[in-house]
Amino acid sequence: MKVKTRTLFHPDHKIADAFAPWEYIVVYPGDCLDLLKSVPDESLQLVVTSPPYNIGKEYEKRLDLDLYLE
């Protein structure tokens, strides 16, 4: 039996920068809370975010802002 696989990175799929129900991939370069306000409930399967950095989480050392940006 041949299994048909589906991938997000099909050549016909573009990467959008705003939510649209017909898009497969959205990369939103901003505050995730702003994006999530535009997304209808129960319409997403996965959300991946990048946490804020250099705020002194227990697994990182907080640096002076100028040093961190350098």
Residues 6+ apart with CB under 8 A from 2: none
Comparing CA positions, the residue from 30, 31, 27 lying closest to residue 19 is 27
Helices (H), the chain: 32-36, 65-69
pLDDT block averages, 10 residues each, the chain of length 70: 64 77 80 84 80 75 81
DSSP code at position 63: -
What pTM, to 2 d.p., does this model score?
Answer: 0.45
CB 59 within 8 A of CB 52: no
Ranges of each domain in the chain: 1-70
Residues 6+ apart with CB under 8 A from 45: none
